[in-house]
Amino acid sequence: MASFHPDADLLLRYSAGTCGAALQLAISSHLALCNECAYAVQRLDAISGMAISEAQPTLVSKKCLQQIFDRCKTPVTAQPAAQVTDTYPAPLSGLISQNPLKWESRGKDIQQAILLKEQSGTVAYMMKIRKGAEIPEHNHRGDEFVLILEGSMIDQRGATLRGDFVTTDAAFTHKPRAGDDADCVCLVVATGGVKFTKGLLRVLNVLPWQ
């Protein structure tokens, strides 16, 4: 059972469909692993449905109606069911089945594979950290959302395990490390890059981490 979850605002944005594609991927993947949050979103969806059913009808133009009808006529190509693996929940597995991961080295202990990029600059990527390895101390130029998929990651907040969804804002400085038992595999959504805070690594702050 997950110990770290998206906050109420994130779940509300997800239910309303107002979060971007990257965050939607991360939250839907968390929901596949967390019954508690999945139930919360079901309740939010039900409340939204009630609000819509009680809303007053609004007249729309004939042109708008025609556009809706035209879209309804557009054929939809059925996609094969995504294969769910022991590591990847269904929403993520479906994306990876269509776009295989291309891992790239980010140092001797870290690998990264970009999943998608939004026009806003938000990036979703997979990250793999060798067991026992540590990421140098850093903070962020925006918000970071991490979903643990395999192994564990540890910082001053404690250990995060499979299914945990951890939110980190720009004010938080940490030096996370992978647990000693297994490599840590996680899905990361970042609205800005990483900013290293100590030593010679600070010269890398002029380079994009994603």
What distance in Å separates the CA atoms of residue 127 and residue 188, rounded to the nearest whole number? 7
Q: Report which of 103, 157, 156 is spatially closest to residue 130, judged by C-alpha positions.
A: 103
What distance in Å separates the CA atoms of residue 187 and residue 98, rounded to the nearest whole number? 17
26 touches 124 (CB < 8 A):
yes
DSSP state of 19: S
What local confidence, expressed as pLDDT, does residue 87 receive?
A: 77
How many CB atoms within 10 Å of residue 70?
9
150 touches 185 (CB < 8 A):
yes
What distance in Å separates the CA atoms of residue 19 and residue 120, rounded to the nearest whole number? 12
What local confidence, expressed as pLDDT, does residue 47 receive?
A: 78
What local confidence, expressed as pLDDT, does residue 79 receive?
A: 38
CATH number at residue 165: 2.60.120.10
The verdict on pTM exceeding 0.85 is no
Residues of the chain with pLDDT under 50: 50-52, 65, 76-84, 202-210
Q: pLDDT, tens digit, for every residue of 5-36?
A: 999 999 999 999 999 999 999 999 999 999 99
Residue 188, Cα to own-chain centre: how many angstroms?
Answer: 6
Q: Which domain holds residue 98?
A: 1-210
**Total number of domains constituting the chain:** 1
> What percentage of the chain exceeds 70 in pLDDT?
76
